[in-house]
Amino acid sequence: MGHVPLKVKKAVFPVAGLGTRFLPATKVLPKEMLILGSKPLIQHAYEEARAAGIEEFVFVSSRDKSLIESHFRPHSALHQTLTERHKTAELASLQDSTADEGRISVVYQDEPLGLGHAVWCAREAIGNEPFAVILPDDVVIGSPCLAQMIKAYEEVGGNLVAVENVPRAETCKYGVLDIEHDGGRLISVRGLVEKPEPAQAPSTLTIIGRYILQPEVFDHLSSAVKGVGGEIQLTDSLAKLIGVQPFHGFRFEGKRYDCGNSIGLLKANVAYAMNDNAAVGPLAEFLRDALNSNTASQQYSRAL
């Protein structure tokens, strides 16, 4: 009989980055509080994890980002006002953003030393069990990504990283797979390279911000040294698990948006609204008019 992998019950949300690509918006406001539709990015990530069966949510944050934790706390004064005014829909929205007592914990990364270091900061909160990592600024629209990964993990166990193809010119922005066997949905991996120059990239299949990992990754993160960009890279420690534990790339359904920069967040908002029955009509009309509104946009429109 096959070995049943341990259930994934905890997820880590690294939110301690500086968000420099979004300055000045992120001078005071955490990047993860930027809005997609009517919710901040961190709430989308939280709901995606909850829908995938995650029970404990570990935020790796910095001390000046307390807004993120506050967002999930009960707001009794607002709750009371909405109740008195019989605002049922608004009350339901408020409830959606309130986490059950004790489900969210916060650990601090005092210096933004890199994603690998951020994940390492969660080691005591995770303990000796498999866990998910979600980067809230990577948003997948169309189909909840983590739930797809948990399903695949239940078949293959080990470590799973969500992957997508990018144009070769962009490999220098991502962790890239050295592919052993491309099985379509699941890809077995020979190695990983962080941010390779396009000419050196072993493939164009890159890791996005969704992972399912085994706790042994903490052993490697404990002794991790600075990698590309002077940061402690998660990819470098993941690479050490290959050949020791099952390790797969996972091609997910849906489309991923990099909401860590303004054009990416704008595209994600448009895509999100296109799935909203109330918004799609007015938005499509607006976009048609906008494409015809000046000479530059008309040129693009004709070229499409």
Q: Which residues of the chain form contacts with ligand UTP (CB under 6 A)?
A: 14-22, 31, 60, 109, 112-115, 117-118, 135-137, 260
Helix (H, G, I), strand (E, B) or coil at 120: helix
Minimum distance, C-beta of residue 17 to ligand UTP, in the bound complex (Å): 2
Nearer to ligand UTP, 17 or 144 (CB): 17
For 276-296, b where at least 16 C-beta lie within 10 A, e where not — what string?
eeebeeeeeeeeeeeeeeeee
Measured distance CA(64)–CA(15) in Å, rounded:
11
User: Residue holding tokens 């909401």?
Assistant: 259
Least Å distance, CB 147 to ligand UTP, is 20
- How do strand 205-213 and strand 131-134 relate by DSSP bridges? antiparallel
In whole angstroms, how close is the CB of 135 to ligand UTP at the nearest point?
Answer: 4
Q: How far is the CB of 107 from ligand UTP (least distance, A)?
A: 11
Type of residue at 303: A
Cβ proximity to ligand UTP, 113 vs 270, nearer residue: 113
Residue closer to ligand UTP by CB (options 17, 175) is 17
Residue nearest to ligand UTP (CB): 17
Contact 202, 191 (CB under 8 A): yes
Q: Which is nearer to ligand UTP, 109 or 269 (CB)?
A: 109
Closest to ligand UTP by CB, 204 vs 261, is 261
Bridge partner residues of 207 (DSSP):
163
E strand intervals along 15-143: 35-36, 39-40, 56-61, 104-108, 131-134, 138-141
Least gap, CB of 166 to ligand UTP (angstroms): 15
- Spatial CB neighbours of 8, under 8 Å, sequence gap ≥ 6: 52, 53, 54, 130, 131, 132, 150, 153, 212
Encoded tokens for 99: 């986490």
Closest distance between ligand UTP and the C-beta of residue 117, in Å? 6
Please give the structure tokens belonging to residue 163.
Answer: 């992957």
119/239 with CB nearer ligand UTP: 119
If the CB atoms of residues 54 and 115 are measured against ligand UTP, the closer one turns out to be 115
Distance in Å, CB of 20 to ligand UTP, minimum: 3
- Give the up-direction half-sphere exposure of residue 237: CA atoms within 13 A in the CB hemisphere: 25
